[in-house]
Amino acid sequence: MIGLHPTSVKEDYPHQLNEIERISREHDFIAVGEIGIDLYWDKAFLIEQLGAFRRQLTLALSHNLPVVIHSREAFSEIFSVLDEFRGKGLRGVFHAFSGDLETAEKVVEEGFKIGIGGIVTFKNSGLDEVIRDIDPCHMVIETDSPYLAPNPHRGTRNESAYLNIIASKLAEIYGLDEEEIAQITTDNARAVFNI
């Protein structure tokens, strides 16, 4: 993937995006990401984050690539921007999803997949209850390596070897075999990323 993460968006973001656009013409990528809006750490660059998000959505469309969206305390802002692009063929994943059921339903309605990672295994996250009513055909399993390692590895360096723990948790939630969850989420990932 290639993209300017929202926490890296500052006043100079147009210059950085010029470089990203140049590189995107010279190499093959499977997605534009992580892009989006993060208002958790700092709200000072919201206007710049909105501009960078719009421009990178346009970049994704110009290359017919999916996007991987980072949203932290910014779902309403994200959806507001996505509304501007409705009907243009955007697709992708809401990475490290941690929203409520209404937000999950909105993600699905917008045609995006829900990225499920280690958070679903956290005792008090509530994510297991949120996604219970969302069909797994709308999900991909992912890491946020090196962050958000699933239980029982929480607090350690995350790695792709832990994806089976997430698959196991989803199998438990949906009453399916781990192999079924693995097949569904793998097919979803292949379809989204055209791999």
For residue 71, the model assigns a pLDDT of: 97
Per-residue pLDDT band at 127 (split at 50, 70, 90): very high
Q: H or E stretch including 34?
A: strand 32-38
> Tokens 């055909």 — which residue?
137
CB 60 within 8 A of CB 159: no
Q: Could you give the residue range(s) of every CATH 3.20.20.140 domain in the chain?
A: 91-195
Per-residue pLDDT band at 41 (split at 50, 70, 90): confident
Answer positive or negative: Cα dihedral of 52, 73, 133, 102: negative
> Tokens 């305390």 — which residue?
73
Please check the confidence at residue 101 and state whether its pLDDT lies above 90. yes
Q: Which homologous superfamily does the CATH classification assign to the domain defined by 91-195?
A: Metal-dependent hydrolases (3.20.20.140)
Q: What is the pLDDT of residues 49-83, one digit of tens each?
A: 999 999 999 999 999 999 999 999 999 999 999 99
Global pTM value? 0.96
